[in-house]
Amino acid sequence: MQIKENNIMAKINTVLFDFDGTIMDTNNVILQSWQHTFRTVEGKERPREEILSTFGEPLYVTMEKKLPQISVEEGAAIYRGFHYDHFTDLISLFPGIIELLEELKKRGIKIGLVTSRLRHTTEIGLNKFDMMKYFDSIVTCDDTEKFKPDPEPALVALQQLDAKPEETLMVGDSLYDILCARGAGIRSALVGWALAVSEEEKTGKDAPDYIIEKAEDLLEIL
């Protein structure tokens, strides 16, 4: 586990988790959904790295940037059609997540989920692994006007949990999560299995407060 220099440990009683790429391995279904969309619209796939660079963005934001030749509604319909058909079969949990959530519950930690995903598929994923019971708050893109990296989603979760920013940690896999946390006055932890964060970004001006290599490393921060 890496810790930012001069980071002062404080009592944490609330943990906010991102969904995609943090607790749930949705990388494959996202990549395949984008490639299906590119094949449908442009007749060919795009480099994997180009798709990875968009991880953490709301779908409509990425769609507008990547496929300006069609409406975001049309593009989203193509993407979501494939995504919904394959979502349940292609997702899995990252190692140690259930055990971590169970231990946080035992310790009386308040747990929130803050995601740019739609509530419908978020709940499908959580229900597949019987995980709804772990979360005291779930904030999706259906619940806010602004999205990560804006702090609004995290602030909504704090309000729902009656939690203080200085007593909260946000765990994610992208710079959108880190910037969202920072804007809300929350400390951040980046998961070591993140695909969309470069080595330079891990130590640069927007570096997270912590980097955890395994799910259980989070317990060392608390």
Tokens representing residue 66 in the block: 């990547």
Q: What residues are labeled active site?
A: 18
